Amino acid sequence: MIHLDHRDRRPIYQQVLDSFREQIRAGILLEGDKLPSVRELAMELAINPNTIQRAYRELESEGWIASVAGKGSFVCGTPDSDRLELLAQFDTLVDKLLSTGTDAGELIRRIQKGDDDHA
């Protein structure tokens, strides 16, 4: 379910974080779904439980999941703040691309292609 890459420059806890964010965004994990327990996932990925817990803690503080002591961690969905942040990143990226002479039409074509794949 989650793939760690030790050559990746991102810290492990963030790879876990990003993986779950991605899966929730993509609808692979749905609201109410139960995440694997901290110890379970740590065992499976062969890393320390504290590392998983840090990822879960951050996911909770960002509103992706809710953790209940003694019960487990459960998916809440994609928080609104995420969409806003992605849009801000989108704008700055588009700005960079346009300033290096990339044609606006090419970007639009790429969006439409992505939209077809997604539909």
Partner DNA sequence: GTGGTCTAGACCACG
Partner DNA sequence: GTGGTCTAGACCACA
Neighbour-count burial of 73, counting CB atoms closer than 10 A to its CB (0-12 exposed, 13-18 middle, 19+ buried) = buried
Which sign does the torsion angle of CA 60, 63, 68, 74 carry? negative
Token pair, residue 10, equals 């991102």
CB nearer to DNA: pick between 21 and 54: 54
Residue 44 CB, nearest distance to DNA (Å)? 12
List CB contacts of 6: < 8 A, sequence separation 6 or more: 12
Residue 39 near DNA by CB under 7 A = yes
Binding residues for DNA, total number by CB under 7 A: 26
Q: Closest Cα partner for 45 from 4, 74, 17? A: 4
Residue 99 CB, nearest distance to its own copies (Å)? 5
Binding to its own copies in span 5-64, by CB under 8 A:
6-9, 11, 22, 25-27, 61
Q: Closest Cα partner for 105 from 116, 96, 97? A: 97
**Residue 56 touches which of DNA, its own copies, none (Cβ within 5-8 Å per kind):** DNA
Task: List contacts with its own copies (CB under 8 A).
Answer: 6-9, 11, 22, 25-27, 61, 66, 68-69, 71, 74, 76, 78, 82-83, 86-87, 89-91, 93-100, 102, 104, 107-108, 110-112, 114-115, 118
